[in-house]
Amino acid sequence: MTTDNIGGSVQVSVLGLGAMGSALSSALVKAGYETTVWNRSPGKADGLVAQGARAAGTAGEAVGAGGVVIACLLDHGSVREVLDPLAGELAGRVLINVTTTTPAESRELAAWAADAGIAYLDGGIMAVPPMIGHPGSSILYSGSADAFDQYKPLLDVWGTSTYFGEDAGLAPLYDLALLAGMYVMFAGFMHGAAMVAPAGVTARQFAAMAAPWLTAMTGAFEGFAAVIDGGDYTVEGQQSLVFSSLGDLLAASSDQGISTDVPAMVQRLIQHQIDAGHGEEGFARIIESIKQPG
Ligand code: NDP
């Protein structure tokens, strides 16, 4: 039986047993937490019950088990749908919502929770279900500092826990900003794979080249960040925007008969700064095209 840092056994109720809710619940059971689980559709709790969890027939019954409540549902709408009728039961308790939401939605949930007297902690999961409880899993939190401090040992069962502050919107903001980087990088990889495919190169062969290349290129982030934070894009040693022009890359893509959508997006950001008279300044300046669209 796991005990928390204020003494006594820790009761946890998890609402939502999709792929992620099941992984979170399983890790808690394995770590010795007294875990009550609930899912809208029946049948998903069976494997967890076999591991030692208790299944509740309704969300109200799960919340009624006492202790901290974890929501891992599909989206903001499903969280409100499940929790709205339970606000009275949750008053004076801690709610940790790891459902993916926008910053605005998280702030809206935090305001709803504050009105109901619920301590609210928002979580953004930077992992896929098989990673939960294993190295590399990271979860970002914001909202109630007291809730984060009290339940940190529980949160650490799932992965590295990082807290950003009382504004509940901060964790989802970081979460979605990191995903923005990931998706655009993935699109860049797909573009490269599509480029070499007509030459008979398989995606697997290309991946073997792209992974170490892109990993090495992340080393440039720190230098870009120093320039951006310093606000001076004329600092010596930077690759200029004119030099960074993607004309050859776009022409080669067209010659291969593929879409130019992905590099053309980057080229537009570069061209916007060149047109504004900043062609000799550093590549990091494209962030100004993003910060001030149009
Ligand atoms: P799933 O699609 O596997 O599960 C969704 C869960 O939400 C199910 O338990 C489903 O119940 C429940 N649900 C949906 N709508 C309602 C509703 N109106 N009322 C009650 N329950 C509802 O998703 P995941 O478990 O993968 O994801 C859960 C959350 O975790 C999402 O917000 C997701 O973005 C986030 N996340 C997931 C990651 C992943 O890799 N899977 C990674 C990072 C974050 P039912 O079984 O009845 O349909």
Q: Which two tokens stand for residue 251?
A: 């022409």
Q: 3-state SS string over 28-49?
A: HHHCCCEEEEECCCCCCCHHHH
Domains of the chain (ranges, CATH numbers): 11-168 (3.40.50.720), 202-291 (1.10.1040.10)
Q: Cβ(21) to ligand 1 under 6 A?
A: yes
* Cβ atoms of residues 24 and 53 within 8 Å: no
pLDDT digits (tens, 9 = 90+) for 230-266: 999 998 888 999 999 899 999 999 999 999 999 999 9
pLDDT at 5 over 60: no
Q: What is the pLDDT of residue 44?
A: 97
Q: What is the pLDDT of residue 9?
A: 80
Residue to mutate (ligand 1; options 63, 72, 74; most atoms within 8 A of CB): 74
CA atoms 57, 150, 109, 159: torsion sign: negative
For the chain, give the percent of residues with pLDDT over 70. Answer: 97
* Cβ atoms of residues 238 and 281 within 8 Å: yes
Q: How far is the CA of 9 from the centre of ligand 1 (A)?
A: 28
* Cβ atoms of residues 27 and 51 within 8 Å: no
**Per-residue pLDDT band at 6 (split at 50, 70, 90):** very low
pLDDT at 96 over 50: yes
Q: Cβ(24) to ligand 1 under 6 A?
A: no
Q: What is the pLDDT of residue 198?
A: 98
Q: Which ranges of 167-293 would DSSP assign to H, the alpha helix?
A: 170-196, 203-217, 221-230, 247-255, 261-275, 286-291
How far lies 117's CA from each of 64, 103, 109, 147, 191, in Å? 16, 21, 12, 13, 50
